[in-house]
Amino acid sequence: MSAPLLSVTGAVKRFGGVQALRGVDFDLKAGEIHALLGENGAGKSTLMNLLSGVYTPDEGTIHIDGKPVHLNNPREAQAAGIATIFQELDLVPTLDVAANLFLGRELMRPGGFLDVPAMRREAKKRLEAIELAIDPARLVADLSIGQRQVVAIVKALSYASRVLIMDEPTAALTVAEVERLFDIIRKLAASGVGIVYISHRLEEVPEIAGRVTVMRDGRVAGVTEPHAPQAELVRLLVGRPLDELYPPTRQDSRQAAAQPARRELPSVPRKRRLAGPDQRVARRA
C-alpha cells in the first residue's frame, strides 16, 4: 500500500497549561476529501495549524509521502504543497482579483513596471480552469462571499497544489454558493488534490466527504464513514449518546440548569449551530 499523501502521528501541542492536542494521528490520501469534525476547542484548528506550518508540534511527526518532514513556517508548508484557507480569507478587498492572485509575486515588465495585462490573462486562465467566470479586473470588494472564497482557493492552489486545508469554508455562504464550492472541491479531489474539510455542519459531511475524523478534547474520538448515522457522529463529537443530551421536558431542563454538575453540554457558539436535530444541542449550550 502506498503511503498517505500527508499524515501526522502522535501529535502533541501545548499552549502553556492547555494541552490542545494529546497524541493525534491523522492521515490524508491523494484525491480524498477528509472531513474533520469537532466541538469548539476540540483541537481542529491546532491540528490544521501544525499541518500548515503555523505551529510546530511539541511531540509527534508529520509525514509527506511517508517521509518525515519539519514544517517550520507556512512558507515551508507551501513549498511542500500544502495550501490552507483560513476563515478570514487573506484577500485585499480594495485590489482587483488578478492583483490579489499575484500579491507579493507580481509579474513585471522590463523596467520594473507591473505587467497588469499578463496578470489578468493568467488570472483568467486560472479562474476558468475551475470554471469560474469572474472578470480578473473586478475589485474583490464587489464579489459575493462565495466568489471570494473561490478566488482564495485559486490563490492558495497557485502556491501549493497537493493538499488543500479549509477551515469552515461554508460558514458564510448561501445554499447555491455551497453547492458551487462543493463542485469545485470535488473537481479538485478528482484531479488528485487531498482536501481536509473542517466543519461544524454535520449535514454537509455525507454530501462532501469520503472519510470523517471526529476530534474531541485534543484526541481523535473516531474515524468513520461519512454515511454513519448522525447519532453516531454526535456520540463521537460529545462523547455520549444523543438521548442523554436531549431534555425530555421543559421542567427537566430547568432542573438541569439548577444542577451545574449535569450541565456538561458541548459549547457551540451561536453562529456555528449544528444543523438538524443537533440544533437543540447548540441552543442549550
Ligand X SMILES: Nc1ncnc2c1ncn2[C@@H]1O[C@H](COP(=O)(O)OP(=O)(O)OP(=O)(O)O)[C@@H](O)[C@H]1O
Binding residues for Mg ion, rule: CB under 5 A, are: 45
β-strand partners of 211: 34
Q: Which does 40 bind (CB under 5 to 8 A by kind): Mg ion, ligand X, none?
A: ligand X
Among positions 41, 60, 239, 247, the unique one binding ligand X when judged by CB under 6 A:
41
18 forms part of the interface with ligand X (CB under 6 A): yes
- Interaction of residue 87 with ligand X, rule CB under 6 A: no
Q: Please choose which of Mg ion, ligand X, none residue 165 contacts, taking the beta carbon within 5 to 8 angstroms, the exact cut-off set by kind.
A: none
H helices within 81-217, ranges in order?
Answer: 97-101, 116-129, 145-159, 175-190, 205-208
State the SS3 of 229-248.
Answer: CHHHHHHHHHCCCHHHCCCC
- Would you count residue 238 as binding ligand X (CB under 6 A)? no
Q: How far is the CB of 54 from Mg ion (least distance, A)?
A: 12
Burial 168-206 (b: 16+ CB within 10 A, else e): bbbeebeeebbebbbebbeebbeeebbbbbbbbbbebbe
Interface with ligand X includes 20 (CB under 6 A)? yes
Instruction: Please report which helix (H) or strand (E) contains residue 279, including its range.
Output: helix 279-284
CB of 195 to ligand X, least distance (A): 17
- 108 is in the binding site of which of ligand X, Mg ion, none (Cβ under 5 to 8 A by kind)? none
- Name the one residue in this structure whose C-alpha cell is 440544533: 279
State which residue, 16 or 260, has the beta carbon closest to ligand X.
16
- Residue, CB closest to Mg ion: 45
Residue 84, binding choice from Mg ion, ligand X, none, Cβ under 5 to 8 Å by partner class = none
Considering the rule CB under 6 A, would residue 15 count as an interface residue with ligand X? yes
Among 37-45, 102-110, 114-122, 244-252, the segment contacting ligand X (CB under 6 A): 37-45
Measured from the CB of residue 263, what is the shortest distance to ligand X in angstroms? Answer: 19
Which residues contact residue 243 at a Cβ distance below 8 angstroms, ignoring those fewer than 6 apart? none
* Residues 127 and 135: beta-carbon distance below 8 Å: no
Residue 184 cell numbers, joined? 469545485
42 contact choice in Mg ion, ligand X, none (CB below 5 to 8 Å, kind-dependent) = ligand X
Min dist. Cβ of residue 44 to Mg ion (A): 5
- Choose the one of ligand X, Mg ion, none that binds residue 266, judging by a C-beta under 5 to 8 angstroms depending on kind: none
Angle at 93 between CA 91 and CA 94, to 5 degrees: 130
Cβ distance 97 to 136 under 8 Å?
yes
The least distance separating ligand X from the CB of residue 73, rounded to whole angstroms, comes to 16
What is the distance in angstroms between the CA of the first residue and the CA of the last residue of the chain? 44
- Select from Mg ion, ligand X, none the partner in contact with residue 43, using the beta carbon and a kind-dependent cut-off of 5 to 8 Å: ligand X
Residues 42-71 that bind ligand X (CB under 6 A): 42-46
Contact status: 84 vs ligand X (CB under 6 A): no
H-only helix segments in 29-111: 44-51, 74-79, 97-101
Q: Which residues bind ligand X (CB under 6 A)?
A: 15, 18, 20, 38, 40-46
